[in-house]
Amino acid sequence: MDNTLRTLDTPDWLDDTRASYDTVAASYADTVRDLLDETPHERAALALFAASVRESGGGTVVDVGCGSGRITAHLRGLGVDAYGIDLSPAMVETARREHPGTRFETGSMTGLGLAGASVAGLIAWYSLIHVPDAEVPAVLAGFRHVLRPGAPLLLAFHVGDGSRLKTQGYGGHPMKVYVHLRRPARLAALLDEAGFAVEARTTLTSAESPLGGMVFARRR
C-alpha cells in the first residue's frame, strides 16, 4: 500500500473514489466483515449511538458511506431502523448480498437528496476520510439539513495531519483514493460552525485504525 503523504486533492476525487471502491468491493467486504468482533470500543460507541437515537424518539437512521453494510446491519441488530448509502454501486450490490432484507442505496454525501429534518440519526463511519478539506463544511451542512433538531451524529475517522494517496488495497487491487487525516479538535470545530453541538470526542487504537477518532454531536 502506498501511503505517501500528499497535500493536493485530485479534481476528480468523487469519480476516483467511486471507481476505486467498485474495483475492491468484494475484497473489502471480506477484509472488514468481522472487524467489529475485534473492536469492543467501537461496539460500545455504536451502542451509545443507538441508545441516543432511541432516547431522541427513534426513527430512520442513515449510514452514509456504508460500504459493504456491516455497520448498517450492526445498528439494525441494536434495534435501530438503519439503512445505508454509498457512492459505489458495486459496494451497494455487495451490501445487499451480505445483508439481504436491509435497504441500501447508491448516493453521495455531497448531495444526499433527503428531505430536511427527515432523519433521526446519521453515522459516517470512516467515510468522511475521502472528502477533501475544502468540501467538508458543505458535507456537514448537508448532514445538518437532513437531521431532525436534537438528532445524533457520529463520525469515525483516521487521526493525523495531511493526506495520503492510496494506490493499492483490499486484496491487492489497484485504487486511486485520497485518505485525509484529521484531528478530533478540528472536526469538532467544523461541526460547531455547521450548527452541531459536540458532546464528546475521543481517540483510540484498534483493528479499525492504528489511530482512530470519534466525535459525537447533535444537530442544534
- What are 173-209's pLDDT values in tens digits? 889 999 999 999 999 999 999 999 999 999 999 999 9
> Confidence band (pLDDT; 50, 70, 90) for 171?
confident
Q: How many domains does the chain have?
A: 1
What average pLDDT score do residues 11-32 get?
A: 93
CATH number at residue 153: 3.40.50.150
Does residue 211 surpass a pLDDT of 70? yes
State the cell numbers at 97. 448480498
pLDDT > 90: what percent of the chain? 91
pLDDT, tens digit, for every residue of 45-65? 999 999 999 999 999 999 999
State the cell numbers at 177. 483514493
Nearest to residue 126, comparing CAs of 76, 77, 166, 171? 166
Q: Which pLDDT score, from 0 to 100, does residue 10 have?
A: 40
DSSP 67: T
Q: Cα separation of 50 and 202, whole Å?
A: 18
DSSP 37: G
Q: Which pLDDT score, from 0 to 100, does residue 172 have?
A: 84
Does residue 151 surpass a pLDDT of 50? yes
Examine residue 21 and state whether it is found in any structural domain, yes or no.
Answer: no
Exposed e or buried b per residue across 43-73, where buried means at least 16 C-beta atoms within 10 angstroms of its C-beta: eebbeebbebbeebeeebbbbbbbbbbbbbb
Q: Tell me which residue has cell 435497504.
A: 103
Q: Three-state DSSP class for 41?
A: helix
Examine residue 78 and state whether it is found in any structural domain, yes or no.
Answer: yes
Q: Which pLDDT score, from 0 to 100, does residue 83 have?
A: 98
Does residue 11 surpass a pLDDT of 60? no
> Confidence band (pLDDT; 50, 70, 90) for 9?
very low
State the cell numbers at 34. 468481522
Examine residue 70 and state whether it is found in any structural domain, yes or no.
Answer: yes
Structural domain containing residue 153: 34-161+183-219
What average pLDDT score do residues 74-84 get?
A: 98
Distances (CA, A) of 13 to 106, 177, 181: 17, 7, 16
Indicate the burial class of 18 (C-beta count within 10 angstroms; 0-12, 13-18, 19 or more).
Answer: buried
- Taking a C-beta distance cutoff of 8 angstroms, is the pair 184, 154 a contact? no
Q: Cα separation of 214 and 60, whole Å?
A: 21
Q: Does the pTM of the predicted model rise above 0.95?
A: no
